[in-house]
Structure 1
Amino acid sequence: MGNSSDDTYTLEQAKEEINILRRVEDDVVEAIENAENEEVLLYLIEEQELDKAHDGKRGLGNVRQAVLESRLASDRLKRLVSLRGDETPEDILVPEDVVRNAKVALEAGKPVVLYGPTGTGKTTFAKQLARETGIGYSLHTATPSWTPSDIIGGISPDYTGESLSYRTKLGCVSEGVQRARRFDVEYGVILDEITRADISKIFGPLYTAIENPHQTIFETDEGETIELDERVNIICTMNMSDRTVNELDNAITRRFAMIELDEYEEDKRRQLFKDWLDTHVSGQTDIDDAELLRLFERDYEGINHGNESTAQGSIMRFGPMHYRDVAVFVGVACREGGEYEYDQTDSIGQAFRTYIVPRLLNSAAFPQVERIAEHYRAMNDEFEEFDLSPAAELAERELEQERRQMGSYE
């Protein structure tokens, strides 16, 4: 580059040297660090997308770090580089009161738990919430082996030298604090499906930190102390298909804002179904989209609200997001050269057998298994255009197995 590190880098220079900047990463970083104004950054990043050229489609490379550290970069530009490659849908479809309550809780400094039945879009909304309330976010999915060190940090073996040594390793919350500090931004940390882990065990130190936000919770090898930072938004998701809020440790309900994500407004749910069918099925198959949409709605209503004609209530709470997998399966199976190109109506029952029924049975007690089998027998009779017998038969087999197991205990 023609200018020294003490000179400001102008828009005219950037345009003149754009071919060099496309090839040389260090020159781009230097241009960002010495930019005369944000117009230079906008040209390099928004117009020329040099961060994608050097850092790749996603991830935090040297160019994006330079933007995040720039005093000239607006929050909008920082958000742009931080979320490069993020395919989270823009449209928020969860109920408005859920969105408002979650935002207020985060603004009030409370970590949030989004809880509800499987398939209600908790993870998607967690990402949307993190995007709307911060510059970027990280997503971490809990496992049964999680310990407090996965949240706060701990000691980790280092095998890079000639002999075994140990170094401190940041946990996901501590890492979020460090990033918020480094770039002086609001940052989201998403802890997904926390019911997979022992919540009381993994959150112990975090509970203490929430009660005493100025208390050091971790110290790095470099001597940097980590305390909870108001710029870090902690967002958790929790699948409540097999437990209730009353069964949770009181510690989490006292320290976190518990936001239920359950029922979608009917028009938004219908729009979801229609969008998936338009995207994955319409024009690619000979299947009647309107009838398949009716099947989705009838199945959802029967599971969640029961059958009015028989006065039977809900089988269980079951979210609409599962039906996207059905739409994708049908579109792939029935396209030209697909496995079900010449048996398209058969693909519907196979999709329900693959994606819907196993997820229902996974958390069903015996009375629910009976209802699921009964439900899909009735659905198969009602929708003559589609062969739903594979779904019904899977539920019947599970019911017979449950009956045999009950008989063996008697």
Structure 2
Amino acid sequence: MSDAYPEFRLRLPNGGPEALGRLLAEKGARGSRKFIVAAGSPVRAEVVQSFAVRKPPSHRTRQQLIAEGAIRESSRRPGWLETVRDIEFSSPSAAAEVLMGCSVNGWGVWKSADGQSLAAYLGQAADGPNRCWLVRGSNVTGLDLVQRLWLSDGCVTLAASRLRQGVQQGISKEDLRTLVQEDYESTATYSQRQQLVESVHAFLSRMKPGDTVCTISGGRLYAGQITGEAEQTESEGGRSNLRRPVEWQPTGYAYDELPEELQQKLSIQHDVVELTAVQAVIDGLGLTNEELAEEAEAIERDPSMEIPAITVRRELELPAPTDELAAELLVHETEWLREVRDLLWDDRQLVFYGPPGTGKTYLALQLAEFFGGGPEQVKLVQFHPSYAYEDFFEGFRPQEDPESREVAFRLTAGPLRELADLASREGNRHIPHFLIIDEINRANLAKVFGELYFLLEYRNKSVRLTYSGDDFALPPNLFVIGTMNTADRSIALVDAAMRRRFAFVELSPRTQPTSGLLRRWLTSQGRDSEPADLLEVLNSRIEDPDFRIGPSYLMKKGVYRDGGLERTWRTKILPLLEEHHYGEDVDIEKRYGITALRASLPGPLPEPSA
């Protein structure tokens, strides 16, 4: 074997023996470094079920080597195969895949004597997890390079036509920024130069062999593995003069059928986008849980750790309301709660609207805690006329430095950004999180939501944020429940755009579950039904349904102390009606006073005559 590089070792799974190999300086037809596996190296006897589909070239190579006798049963290691001669492979990954019978990153599993991975030894990157990238190639100056070049030639490219020759892989961002400034000063705007620096630096210095790369073409997502170093080459029109070799998977995946959180990342409009946050989703595309588990078992790994590609598939769900919940909330029937749950599931946003005192905020909080599994997943904010985007999502606010004691304006996250960040953390993505917006119609909604208004309707998209410049999407497990008070007429200001984005559920004294709520509560408390009778008579005298009185005014302990009912009626209910009839010649006490209402209640039936 060649002595150009030191010997590298591959430990086969489940405490298996070690294979030996060396990297060659020579490159294969598609640009990856060739690799030789030494004679006598062990080979796993079985292959995983998905091997032929995921890695057809390696599967064919393995079958051919077995057929020609280059790999055969081992006489030294019962239950294993072994190589009978030195075998040259097109890449370290191809060598590892043939030996292990599954899809594997050869740049990470081949180790030097001191435990360094092959990629780290070559200075490609420090040892650590691989990353995942999106590189766009379906519209490079009008050409679809994915179909025309990438899939057929086994590569991924980036256009940098004016960048001088000799730019080295691993260049620092500062050095690259200087070169781009000089080479593109008269042909690109400042923002275009900044974006080019980010894309080229990621392509040359952050990507490494073994990383996953994705692209989109013809409505399909294609994924592959980077198998070699970056090169700067001459190309037609400079459209693909930066290039890396890639082993692409043979099939693509329909974009419309991809998980929502992956679609969100893919919607970011840059030439190069890091997708590491959703790499587990990409790793699991096209495979069943059983196939993923089999692949994981074929690779040496900690058996106590969950398999990421299976973990991310844990279903997001809103638990079905129970009869016990309906009884606790005093809702007339469980089916009404199930309908609310279905509306939330379908639209992700819902508004409870109705007159004051109908329990909108209480019901929103209780349902959010039930669906989310506890108060830790629920955050409440209250809108008001001066509430702004900077308060709600993010903005610059004065903050004191704890060391210097100086006050400066710093970018600060608001409640929605905080909750979205919490909901999108690893391990939280299958848990529902709820933002309760009390009095949602009291603020200028277009001003408060800003570009987020778009995301309420298009949850599979992302937008560039105003202040931070981050690309942001609403997590699929983030739900919004708003409340609206119809008595102040501000609901009339809610525009059609918001009505399209939210489901609206009425809580009104004229309909269930609100109309019978007080009577059910009084029964559960063992109290007389007179307050419910009085409230029904009162509301029957109020012509405008938006000003009818909700039951929560009469569901407080103070109402049932001595004189409490009369006191509540005089100080809480009548002032609301005085405001409603302001400027009208209405005798509030005569029409709505508790004495007048009691007089209208039906009296006891007369005793039957003897």
TM-score by length of 1: 0.56
Counterpart among 394, 402, 406 of residue 153 in structure 1: 394
- 1:144 positional shift: 2.4
The count of aligned residue pairs is 268
Contact residue 105 and residue 112 of structure 1 kept, 8 A: yes
Counterpart among 323, 348, 351 of residue 113 in structure 1: 351
Give SS of 1:108's match.
Answer: helix
**Alpha-carbon distance in 1 for matches of 2:574, 2:415:** 35
Contact residue 315 and residue 368 of structure 1 kept, 8 A: no
- 1:270 positional shift: 0.8
User: Per-residue CA shift, 1:1-53, capped at 9, x if unaligned?
Assistant: xxxxxxxxxxxxxxxxxxxxxxxxxxxxxxxxxxxxxxxxxxxxxxxxxxxxx
Counterpart among 597, 601, 604 of residue 379 in structure 1: 597
Q: 2:462 aligns to what?
A: 215
Output aligned runs, 1:115-134, within 5 Å.
115-134=353-372
Instruction: Tell me the amino acid that sits aligned with residue 170 of structure 1.
Output: A
User: Per-residue CA shift, 1:222-244, capped at 9, x if unaligned?
Assistant: x9753211100011011111327
Output aligned runs, 1:254-269, within 5 Å.
254-262=500-508, 263-265=511-513, 267-269=516-518
- 1:92 positional shift: 5.1
**Alpha-carbon distance in 2 for matches of 1:358, 1:209:** 41
**Alpha-carbon distance in 1 for matches of 2:567, 2:586:** 19
Counterpart among 349, 368, 381 of residue 566 in structure 2: 349
* Structure with the largest fraction of strand: 2
Contact residue 577 and residue 588 of structure 2 kept, 8 A: no
**Alpha-carbon distance in 2 for matches of 1:151, 1:315:** 28
**Alpha-carbon distance in 1 for matches of 2:600, 2:418:** 54
Counterpart among 408, 421, 431 of residue 165 in structure 1: 408
- 1:212 positional shift: 4.0
Contact residue 112 and residue 257 of structure 1 kept, 8 A: yes
User: Per-residue CA shift, 1:356-399, capped at 9, x if unaligned?
Assistant: 2223334445459545642215136568xxxxxxxxxxxxxxxx
Q: 1:361 aligns to what?
A: 578
Q: 2:440 aligns to what?
A: 194
**Alpha-carbon distance in 1 for matches of 2:451, 2:567:** 46
Contact residue 189 and residue 235 of structure 1 kept, 8 A: yes
Give SS of 2:411's match.
Answer: strand
Task: Kindly indicate whether residue 473 of structure 2 is the aligned counterpart of residue 227 of structure 1.
Answer: yes
Q: 2:486 aligns to what?
A: 240
- 1:149 positional shift: 2.0
Q: Which runs of 5+ in 2 are unaligned?
A: 1-310, 320-326, 602-610
Q: 1:32 aligns to what?
A: none
**Alpha-carbon distance in 1 for matches of 2:546, 2:458:** 43
- 1:319 positional shift: 1.2
Give SS of 1:125's match.
Answer: helix
- 1:151 positional shift: 2.4
Contact residue 305 and residue 315 of structure 1 kept, 8 A: no
Computing the radius of gyration from Cα coordinates, the structure with the larger value is: 2
Task: Kindly indicate whether residue 548 of structure 2 is the aligned counterpart of residue 317 of structure 1.
Answer: yes
CA distance change for structure 1 residues 379 and 156 in 2, over 3 Å: closer, same or farther? same
Instruction: Tell me the amino acid that sits aligned with residue 558 of structure 2.
Output: F
Q: 1:329 aligns to what?
A: 558
CA RMSD of aligned residues (A): 3.6
Task: Kindly indicate whether residue 533 of structure 2 is the aligned counterpart of residue 298 of structure 1.
Answer: yes
**Alpha-carbon distance in 2 for matches of 1:313, 1:168:** 46
**Alpha-carbon distance in 1 for matches of 2:350, 2:495:** 15
Instruction: Tell me the amino acid that sits aligned with residue 200 of structure 1.
Output: A
* Structure with the largest fraction of helix: 1
Contact residue 174 and residue 226 of structure 1 kept, 8 A: no
Give SS of 1:318's match.
Answer: coil
**Alpha-carbon distance in 1 for matches of 2:523, 2:347:** 38
**Alpha-carbon distance in 2 for matches of 1:197, 1:233:** 19
Instruction: Tell me the amino acid that sits aligned with residue 298 of structure 1.
Output: D
Give SS of 2:329's match.
Answer: coil
Give SS of 2:480's match.
Answer: strand
Instruction: Tell me the amino acid that sits aligned with residue 366 of structure 2.
Output: Q
CA distance change for structure 1 residues 242 and 143 in 2, over 3 Å: closer, same or farther? closer
Q: Which runs of 5+ in 1 are unaligned?
A: 1-70, 80-88, 279-288, 335-343, 384-410
TM-score by length of 2: 0.39
**Alpha-carbon distance in 2 for matches of 1:212, 1:206:** 10
Contact residue 396 and residue 412 of structure 2 kept, 8 A: yes
Q: 1:7 aligns to what?
A: none
Q: Percent same amino acid at aligned positions?
A: 26
- 1:188 positional shift: 0.5
**Alpha-carbon distance in 1 for matches of 2:567, 2:420:** 46
